[in-house]
């Protein structure tokens, strides 16, 4: 989490990731990362958005983390929502 926090110290940086599906433990990885995020974001400096994509029976868990002070916060949120929506089609 220190590496991630340091990366996100720059309010313009955005972290996007998809949990690995190779061993069918993607939901557990997503839940674990969410717990880490909640534990390490007590000061609420960062926002986290989650998306689940069901593609041909496979579930892909993704997240986006960025600074609450990002100057383009609304654009980021809307773009992520649209992106996940497109992947659901």
**How far apart (Å, rounded) are the C-alpha atoms in residues 68 and 53?**
25
**How far apart (Å, rounded) are the C-alpha atoms in residues 14 and 66?**
5
Q: φ and ψ at 62, to 5 degrees?
A: -125, 160
The predicted structure's pLDDT at residue 27: 93
The closest of 63, 56, 61, 55 to 80, measured between CA atoms, is 63
Taking 90 as the threshold, does the pLDDT of residue 43 lie above it? Answer: yes
Instruction: State the residue for tokens 């916060």.
Output: 73
Mean pLDDT, residues 30-42 taken together: 93
| Domain residue extents for the chain | 2-88
Mean pLDDT, residues 50-70 taken together: 92
Taking 90 as the threshold, does the pLDDT of residue 55 lie above it? Answer: no
Instruction: State the residue for tokens 């309010």.
Output: 11
Q: What is the pTM of this model?
A: 0.88
The predicted structure's pLDDT at residue 57: 81
The CA-CA-CA angle for residues 21, 24, 27, to 5°, reads: 80
């Amino acid at each position: 989490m220190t590496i991630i926090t340091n990366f996100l110290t720059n309010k313009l940086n955005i972290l996007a990731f998809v949990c690995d599906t190779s061993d069918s433990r993607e939901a557990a990885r997503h839940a674990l990362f969410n717990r880490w995020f909640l534990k390490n974001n007590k000061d609420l400096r960062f926002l986290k958005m989650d998306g689940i994509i069901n593609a041909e029976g496979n579930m892909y868990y993704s997240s986006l983390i960025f600074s609450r002070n990002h100057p383009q916060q609304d654009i980021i949120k809307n773009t992520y929502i649209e992106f996940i929506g497109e992947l659901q089609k």
